[in-house]
Structure 1
């Protein structure tokens, strides 16, 4: 198992991008696809998309990101990719509902984003689990799903 202790650079950098492009043509690029929680970690074990087990052990001042290059040589590149985060979008009926929903989401330690009047909750599990917790808000009409597909 290879352990990577540093980030070589970004796949978006011109000098690295050209090398990666050439390696891709020869099937010599592998990806380490991580979720939003794992991208924040400094130490982890994972399996690349190509099936190789690897470890990451970065210093505290280094941070993984989408496009981080962990290995780059003339015959191989390993690049970090992030999974797209799914979001549950909710619209509170009024200010009171918005404050209560925000307070509740904070107590649940859910990662949220704000988009105007919409509160978005990052889904780290089954949407039904989130909807079950939010049932009192939704059933009372204090909160409406902005994306009815999640109903």
Structure 2
């Protein structure tokens, strides 16, 4: 499964010290979306073999993407065998940053939205050394409340 080579997803990434909170979120979304599209294509080409994605190179690549952009936490491979490889609606979306609010010099909140829609996701970031890393993510539910989402 060489189609999940990590360099495919990090090719246009900035160096950690050059990446601000907004850059971190947008780069993560781009890398994740590309990975999700590759997973979906692979699943279509290999019907009935989703478990290979969950235990193989795709899982390892997702872990490396998360290691680059997310703070260190126990993040289990969370994609079920239904083929749902993407965060609610971001798969084909081109998100834009709605707001970026720094809460001190080590914490930040970045809210994104899909063009033409209300805010979709709120990313909480922490500064680790010279890098901004995503600590958690929330999404708006049907009632307009922010609810935790899986990262």
Q: Structure 1 length normalisation: TM-score?
A: 0.24
Which structure is higher in helix share?
Answer: 2
Larger-gyration structure (1/2): 1
Q: Structure 2 length normalisation: TM-score?
A: 0.24
